[in-house]
């Protein structure tokens, strides 16, 4: 095959991901997560994540190469997330990728984490329609992006002004006594619940929309859930965890879907892509498909394993950069924790 064989490294948060692709074909997607080490802190501890990346990096590269049936020297290029993300965590990935590129004499491509979340869909659904709108919702980010050429970056249309969507799921889960990371547990609990509580939809009043049409806010919702639970407990009434979970989840999904479809409609773009860990949410998936069909927007959502942070997404974007003849990064490529999208 003449398609580029690319190894991608992802270390922006708590997953050490190594992916190997040939063009848009996925050959290996190996992830070592330090999530359990963070569980007792109720959130990701940067220093713990960096150390875990350092320990997991070489074994993860070896496992990915074994799965793909290749040697490191077979690859045509190395791609790595250079930002945004946790500074120390990014440094481990970037330093490792530089060492590989230098040792193997192969080009290095520093890629943007959010653009990589978008690119990963090509591995499952084929070439990305451009332009498209992408909504990335995870524990670290909640953004609406316009994508015209993936390899040249993505244009932010809006983002969260406080908590990320996944963070809201995690905080509400904690409040309800569910384990970390809470998203999947809220999702599961909500299936046995009913939407009985009308929780607030952040940044959706006419006044908010003037300044924050495509932005999100979830901290008010989280506080509203906390107040509701407290009031119940004070009055001695039982709290139905499934009902609170279902009602909270409905409020989050309603705002996400409304704003994503509004962005698509406003730009006259007919393709919407979802990514990030929260895109695994069953209610979000059902709601976006249903409402998008009504307004004539096509939706692409990678399978849950590709929605969360992984190395395949980085390799996918790297392969696209090679295919489109983009210039490789210099070997003094910095890790940029606050890199704009």
241 with 189: CB under 8 angstroms? yes
* CB nearer to ligand KG4: pick between 71 and 303: 303
Closest separation in Å from C-beta 73 to Zn ion: 29
Residues 6+ apart with CB under 8 A from 63: 18, 28, 30
Angle between helices 219-234 and 165-175 (to 10 degrees): 10
Residues 80-139 that bind ligand KG4 (CB under 6 A): 138-139
Choose the one of Zn ion, ligand KG4, none that binds residue 143, judging by a C-beta under 5 to 8 angstroms depending on kind: none
78 with 7: CB under 8 angstroms? yes
Establish whether 113 is an annotated binding residue: yes
Q: Is 217 in the site for ligand KG4 (CB under 6 A)?
A: no
Establish whether 140 is an annotated binding residue: yes
Q: Is 11 in the site for ligand KG4 (CB under 6 A)?
A: no
Q: Is 29 in the site for ligand KG4 (CB under 6 A)?
A: no
189 with 182: CB under 8 angstroms? no
Residues 6+ apart with CB under 8 A from 207: none
Establish whether 170 is an annotated binding residue: yes
Q: Is 182 in the site for ligand KG4 (CB under 6 A)?
A: yes
Choose the one of ligand KG4, Zn ion, none that binds residue 183, judging by a C-beta under 5 to 8 angstroms depending on kind: ligand KG4
Choose the one of ligand KG4, Zn ion, none that binds residue 139, judging by a C-beta under 5 to 8 angstroms depending on kind: ligand KG4
Q: Is 140 in the site for ligand KG4 (CB under 6 A)?
A: yes
91 with 330: CB under 8 angstroms? no
Name the strands in the sheet holding 15-22, side by side, starting at the edge strand that comes first in the sequence.
25-33, 15-22, 5-10, 77-83, 108-112
Per the DSSP assignment, residues forming a β-bridge with 5 are 22
Establish whether 281 is an annotated binding residue: yes
340: left (phi over 0), alpha (psi -120 to 50) or beta: beta
229: left (phi over 0), alpha (psi -120 to 50) or beta: alpha
Residues 257-316 that bind ligand KG4 (CB under 6 A): 276-278, 280-281, 308-309
Establish whether 310 is an annotated binding residue: no
What Rg, from alpha-carbon coordinates, does the chain have? 20
**Applying CB under 6 A, which of residues 10, 121, 170, 215 lies at the interface with ligand KG4?**
170
Establish whether 254 is an annotated binding residue: no
Establish whether 162 is an annotated binding residue: no
Q: Cα separation of 96 and 79, whole Å?
A: 11
Closest separation in Å from C-beta 13 to ligand KG4: 5
Q: Is 166 in the site for ligand KG4 (CB under 6 A)?
A: yes
Per the DSSP assignment, residues forming a β-bridge with 329 are 108
* CB nearer to ligand KG4: pick between 156 and 184: 184
* CB nearer to Zn ion: pick between 97 and 246: 97
Residues near Zn ion (CB under 5 A) are 138, 309
For binding to ligand KG4 (CB under 6 A), which residues are involved?
13, 138-140, 166, 169-170, 181-184, 187, 276-278, 280-281, 308-309
């Amino acid at each position: 095959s003449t398609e580029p064989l690319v190894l991608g490294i992802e270390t922006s948060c708590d997953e050490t991901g190594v992916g190997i692709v040939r063009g848009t074909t996925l050959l290996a997607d190996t992830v070592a997560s330090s999530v359990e080490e963070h569980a007792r802190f109720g959130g990701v501890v940067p220093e713990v994540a960096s150390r875990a990346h350092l320990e997991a990096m070489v074994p993860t590269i070896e496992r990915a190469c074994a799965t793909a049936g290749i040697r490191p020297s077979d690859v045509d290029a190395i791609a790595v997330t250079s930002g945004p993300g946790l500074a120390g965590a990014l440094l481990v990935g970037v330093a490792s990728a530089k060492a590989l590129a230098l040792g193997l004499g192969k080009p290095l491509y520093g890629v943007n984490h959010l653009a990589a979340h978008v690119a990963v869909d090509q591995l499952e659904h084929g070439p990305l329609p451009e332009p498209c709108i992408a909504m990335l919702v995870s524990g670290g980010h909640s953004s609406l992006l316009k994508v015209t050429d993936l390899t040249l970056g993505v244009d932010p249309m809006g983002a969260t002004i406080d908590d990320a969507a996944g963070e809201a799921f995690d905080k509400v889960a904690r409040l309800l006594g569910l384990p970390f990371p809470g998203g999947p547990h809220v999702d599961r609990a909500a299936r046995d619940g009913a939407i009985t509580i009308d929780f607030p939809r952040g940044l959706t009043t006419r006044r908010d929309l003037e300044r924050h049409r495509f932005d999100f806010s979830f901290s008010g919702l989280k506080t509203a859930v906390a107040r509701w639970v407290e009031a119940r407990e004070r009055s001695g009434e039982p709290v139905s965890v499934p009902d609170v979970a279902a009602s909270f989840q409905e409020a989050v999904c309603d705002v996400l879907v409304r704003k994503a479809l509004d962005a698509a409609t406003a730009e006259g773009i007919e393709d919407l892509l979802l990514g990030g860990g929260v895109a695994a949410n069953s209610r979000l998936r059902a709601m976006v498909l249903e409402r998008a069909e009504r307004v004539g927007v096509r939706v692409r959502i990678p399978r849950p394993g590709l929605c969360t942070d992984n190395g395949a997404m980085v390799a996918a974007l790297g392969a696209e950069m090679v295919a489109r003849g983009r210039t490789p990064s210099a070997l003094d490529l910095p890790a940029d924790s606050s890199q704009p999208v």
